[in-house]
Chain A
Amino acid sequence: MEDSKTIQFSADALTVAQNIIKRYPEGKQKSALLPLLHLAQAEFGGWLSPEVMDYVASLLAIKPIEVYEVASFYTMYNLQPVGNCLIEVCRTGPCWLRGADDIVEHIEKKLGIKDGETTADGMFTLKTVECLGSCGTAPMLQCGADYYENLTPEKVDTMLDKLRASGKRSNYLTSNKQEI
């Protein structure tokens, strides 16, 4: 259990954070909350623990509850630990029309987990999500910063194998795109 005294941005991340805060007018630094939470999530293992959120609150001089309220409202913030690669498959109408259900079923079988679960080795978490703005190249999924489009079960298998081999933790700020 880390307490808030040990949670701190690295020097580089802190510089990025301070530049983000500067984008907004004097006294309106709370606007930096959403981008800072993305930064914190990427820095601290892909999820936001209460201690991390308290740290972000202190950076912006706002109350912790204001951070919890925002972090729980938006779906991209993980309030529980996730696997190394968070696989987010779109499930809304246009993707469903082009076979998204089959892709989800295929991944569930391949990884042995259901929607919302993480593999036992902590490598993959599967989540079905709403429209990702890629309806023309459906079915598709998002892993961290990368979109994988025009999916087939074979392409999915290639992607999973390559992601596993790359060993990197996916986050929304850094690309880890695999050729499929």
Chain B
Amino acid sequence: MGRKVLLQHIDVPGINTFEVYRKQGGYASVEKALKSMTPDEVTEEVKKSGLRGRGGAGFPAGMKWSFLDRKSDKPRYLVCNADESEPGTFKDRYLMERIPHLLVEGMITASYALGAKSSYIYIRGEYMYIVRILEKAIQEAYAAGFLGKNILGSDYSLDLYVHPGAGAYICGEETALLESLEGKRGNPRLKPPFPAVAGLYASPTVVNNVETIAAVGPIVMMGGDEYAKIGIGKSAGTKLISASGHINKPGVYEIEMGISVEEFLYSDEYCGGIWKGRKLKAVVAGGSSVPILPADLILKTAKGEQRLMSYESLSDGGFASGTMLGSGGFIAMDETACIVRNLWTFTRFYHHESCGQCSPCREGTGWMEKVLHRIEHGHGHSGDIDLLVDVAKKIEGNTICPLGDAAAWPVASAIRHFREEFEYHVKYPEKVKNPKHFEVEPFVSERLVAAV
């Protein structure tokens, strides 16, 4: 049974209310921090814990906190990134809906560490019903004296607000999020300057994912060193994995980093194996933006070692044979899934979500979608596959923000690992006219057939 740090009490009835949450030990980190720790000491614990940003980038949270400009006399802000829009990811929604006080507690403790007097939770607009849940939890926290003026009789005051988005994946990028929080179009800013220096209202700001902030409470209570003992190597702690696709038990699972991908996929404790008695074909391990991997490469690295659920192990092999943990949006596909069609839905997504500021992303995402649409619907020709690879290459690295990379990597990886399937679509357009072509007859690699 894996250790649970965030979802320990998730099944206690009424855990979404202040009363029950408090009884289970909730808000103890606020008491501990305000009564016996300085803000820098709290930051130190987070640094020691090895906690990495759980939104997808995996940047060490403690280091990000230490970059905050503490010399400026501008007000400081902590902004929680609850814009969760990466396809395959739904863990923040689960956490906020079922145990909202975990996030509120983390926001208070983290804001104290950063010296923020007002903090915001930026939540995607589609989660509007969760805005109500969070606002209620915040009201309860105010009523109990954990928010507002002079919290618990200390001289620390904090106001916490929820701010809804309105439908834009790009607002999950931290600078686009800040633009949106300021009431503007979600156009990412050029970095530098970084938000730690000039963020919200040109003031020092830290933007962290929901899960990252939710971990702050437990880290302060158990101590950073204890947290660092969980997990493996530089992947400390636990991670919420959103498992979806062709598995028996889709849902949110909290795992200790370092369990094997095989265990995660097949054990009844987690995904429970591939549904309908089918075989695994491919996995997108960290949300649509990370490279897709075929079954053999997701279970074992190119070197033949068992692949583990951790930042390092999933990235083993780089772009040639690896992927990334990313947001932990684990999408599994069985043998009837069409890689080309799945990729088309992803490129359609990025095309729809591009903010349009910079030319490679604005034009390139549309181009890739249109070419893939043709290939998937039986109008592709042989030059299209190399064209896609070239377009993806020309977008990667040349954009203002990582959305361009996120759009390019799925294309490059799908073609790298499943080129035959693309060629099949081009060679046999009649066979792919039915959108469910591989459900009718699973695609079999000619290469594999020849090898048998």
Chain A residues lying within 8 Å of B75, measured Cβ to Cβ, are 25
- Tell me the complex Cα distance, A92–B401, Å: 22
Chain A residues lying within 8 Å of B128, measured Cβ to Cβ, are 38, 145, 172-173
A135 and B183 contact, CB distance less than 8 A: no
* B231 at interface by CB-CB < 8 Å: no
B337 and A23 contact, CB distance less than 8 A: no
B251 and A136 contact, CB distance less than 8 A: yes
Given A31-B181, A135-B87, the answer on whether A94 and B127 have CB atoms closer than 8 Å is no
- Tell me the complex Cα distance, A68–B439, Å: 45
- Tell me the complex Cα distance, A145–B435, Å: 31
Q: Could you pull out 11 A-B pairs where Cβ atoms are within 8 angstroms? A: A25-B118, A37-B166, A60-B183, A74-B125, A91-B348, A92-B349, A93-B87, A94-B244, A135-B329, A136-B243, A136-B251
* Residue in B closest to A94 when the chains form the complex, CB atoms: B244
- Tell me the complex Cα distance, A133–B90, Å: 5
Chain B residues lying within 8 Å of A91, measured Cβ to Cβ, are 345, 348
Q: Which 3 A-B pairs have the closest CB atoms?
A: A75-B167, A74-B166, A135-B244
Q: Mark A66-87, 1 if CB is under 8 A from B, else 0.
A: 1001100111110000000000
Q: Mark B224-258, 1 if CB is under 8 A from A, else 0.
A: 00000000000000000011111000111000000
- Tell me the complex Cα distance, A23–B435, Å: 49
Chain B residues lying within 8 Å of A60, measured Cβ to Cβ, are 183
A45-104 contacts to B (CB < 8 Å): 60, 62, 66, 69-70, 73-77, 91-94, 96-98, 101
Of the residues B88, B129, B159, B252, contact of A93 by C-beta under 8 Å: B88
Q: Could you list 9 further interchain pairs (A-B, Cβ under 8 angstroms) beyond the known A30-B183, A30-B184, A74-B165?
A: A28-B182, A32-B183, A60-B183, A73-B168, A73-B185, A92-B346, A93-B349, A94-B87, A97-B246
A34 and B166 contact, CB distance less than 8 A: yes
- Tell me the complex Cα distance, A78–B310, Å: 41
Chain A residues lying within 8 Å of B337, measured Cβ to Cβ, are 97
* A134 at interface by CB-CB < 8 Å: yes
Chain B residues lying within 8 Å of A28, measured Cβ to Cβ, are 182, 201
Min distance, Cβ A70 to any Cβ of chain B, angstroms: 6
* B161 at interface by CB-CB < 8 Å: yes
- Interface residues of A, dominant DSSP: mixed
A145 and B250 contact, CB distance less than 8 A: no
B341 and A96 contact, CB distance less than 8 A: yes
* B211 at interface by CB-CB < 8 Å: no
* Residue in A closest to B93 when the chains form the complex, CB atoms: A133
* Residue in B closest to A93 when the chains form the complex, CB atoms: B345
Chain A residues lying within 8 Å of B352, measured Cβ to Cβ, are 130
Of the residues A30, A75, A135, A146, contact of B242 by C-beta under 8 Å: A135
Chain B residues lying within 8 Å of A135, measured Cβ to Cβ, are 87-90, 242, 244-245, 250, 329, 331
A75 and B87 contact, CB distance less than 8 A: no
Min distance, Cβ B291 to any Cβ of chain A, angstroms: 14
* A35 at interface by CB-CB < 8 Å: yes
- Tell me the complex Cα distance, A92–B87, Å: 7
Interface-centre pick from A38, A60, A92, A138 (highest chain B CB count, 10 A)? A92
A134 and B90 contact, CB distance less than 8 A: yes
* A113 at interface by CB-CB < 8 Å: no
* Residue in B closest to A62 when the chains form the complex, CB atoms: B183
* B109 at interface by CB-CB < 8 Å: no
Of the residues B89, B168, B345, contact of A96 by C-beta under 8 Å: B345
B245 and A97 contact, CB distance less than 8 A: yes
* B34 at interface by CB-CB < 8 Å: no
* B186 at interface by CB-CB < 8 Å: yes
* Residue in A closest to B86 when the chains form the complex, CB atoms: A131
Interface size on B, residues (CB 8 A): 58
B250 and A34 contact, CB distance less than 8 A: no
- Tell me the complex Cα distance, A175–B352, Å: 27
* Residue in B closest to A42 when the chains form the complex, CB atoms: B128
Report the contact-size class of chain A (Cβ under 8 Å from the partner).
35 or more
Q: Mark B373-386, 1 if CB is under 8 A from A, else 0.
A: 00000000000000
* Residue in A closest to B201 when the chains form the complex, CB atoms: A28
- Tell me the complex Cα distance, A28–B184, Å: 12
B182 and A94 contact, CB distance less than 8 A: no
Chain A residues lying within 8 Å of B125, measured Cβ to Cβ, are 34, 38, 74, 76, 172
Q: Mark B318-346, 1 if CB is under 8 A from A, else 0.
A: 00000000000101010001000110011
A31 and B353 contact, CB distance less than 8 A: no
B74-90 contacts to A (CB < 8 Å): 75, 84-90
A145-167 contacts to B (CB < 8 Å): 145-147
* Residue in B closest to A137 when the chains form the complex, CB atoms: B250
Chain A residues lying within 8 Å of B349, measured Cβ to Cβ, are 92-93, 130-131
- Tell me the complex Cα distance, A69–B187, Å: 12
B168 and A136 contact, CB distance less than 8 A: no
* A132 at interface by CB-CB < 8 Å: yes
- Tell me the complex Cα distance, A173–B128, Å: 7
* A33 at interface by CB-CB < 8 Å: yes
Min distance, Cβ B168 to any Cβ of chain A, angstroms: 5
Of the residues B168, B245, B348, contact of A94 by C-beta under 8 Å: B245
Chain A residues lying within 8 Å of B161, measured Cβ to Cβ, are 23
Min distance, Cβ B149 to any Cβ of chain A, angstroms: 15
Min distance, Cβ B252 to any Cβ of chain A, angstroms: 7
Interface-centre pick from A38, A142, A172 (highest chain B CB count, 10 A)? A172
Chain A residues lying within 8 Å of B182, measured Cβ to Cβ, are 28, 30-31
B333 and A34 contact, CB distance less than 8 A: no
B87 and A34 contact, CB distance less than 8 A: no
Chain A residues lying within 8 Å of B208, measured Cβ to Cβ, are none
Min distance, Cβ A15 to any Cβ of chain B, angstroms: 16
Of the residues B87, B250, B331, contact of A130 by C-beta under 8 Å: B87
Chain A residues lying within 8 Å of B404, measured Cβ to Cβ, are none
